[in-house]
Amino acid sequence: MECAINGSPYQFTLSPATPLSELLRSHGLLSVKQGCCVGECGACTVLVDGVAVDSCLYLAAWIDGKQIRTLEGEAVGGKLSRVQEAFTQSGAVQCGFCTPGLVMATTALLAKPHVKPFTVQEIRRGLAGNLCRCTGYQMIVETVQACEEEQ
Ligand code: FES
Ligand code: FES
């Protein structure tokens, strides 16, 4: 099986039941958090061909021929992505456990064709699969709005 992870080619031989989160973490991509492991919290969110998925529920066998993006690949040449930068500048990061998943989900949300600007309800709905126990979500919504203003 072949795929690209954060722009680099990989070849794997793996058990058909291996979750993508496990495969990524076993290759050092530790931004992919193991939270609930049942598709409830979004802490394991990565992009598969640009679509945000819960990698704990996504079988690694399904990534053949696909492009995978994790938080580690978002900073290019040591420069944070616009979304990463926005999260670091706002109060949207507290303990940080949810942050990698939220950054990836926000990146996918902003890339979707949409009528600008998103309403608060659209942002909340767009990130509904990503739970945060610290921030109360308002600062996360404001972070997404700030990203949109910069676009
Ligand atoms: S760890 Fe995947 S959704 Fe919670
Ligand atoms: S910042 Fe702690 S869970 Fe979100």
Question: What pLDDT digit, counting tens, does each position of 105-126 carry?
Answer: 999 999 999 888 999 999 999 9
CATH number, domain of 117, equals 1.10.150.120
What would the mean pLDDT of 37-47 be, rounded to a whole number?
Answer: 98
Residue 44 has pLDDT above 80, yes or no: yes
* 4 CA distance to ligand 1 middle (Å): 22
- Would the CB of 136 count as within 6 Å of ligand 2? no
pLDDT tens digits for range 49-103 = 999 999 999 999 999 999 999 999 999 999 999 999 999 999 899 999 999 999 9
Q: How many domains does the chain have?
A: 2
- Tell me the backbone φ, ψ of residue 105, rounded to 5 degrees: -65, -40
Q: For position 23, what pLDDT does the model report?
A: 98
Which domain covers residue 130, as residue numbers? Answer: 82-150
Q: For position 114, what pLDDT does the model report?
A: 87
25, 32, 41, 99, best to mutate for ligand 1 pocket (most atoms within 8 Å of CB): 41
Is the same domain home to 65 and 90? Answer: no
- Would the CB of 81 count as within 6 Å of ligand 2? no
Is the same domain home to 6 and 63? Answer: yes
- Which ligand 1 atom is the nearest neighbour of the CA of 55? 2
Q: Which residues line ligand 1 (CB under 6 A)?
A: 34-37, 39-44, 54, 56
Residue 151 has pLDDT above 80, yes or no: no
* 83 CA distance to ligand 2 middle (Å): 16
Is the same domain home to 94 and 60? Answer: no
Residue 27 has pLDDT above 80, yes or no: yes
Q: For position 149, what pLDDT does the model report?
A: 86
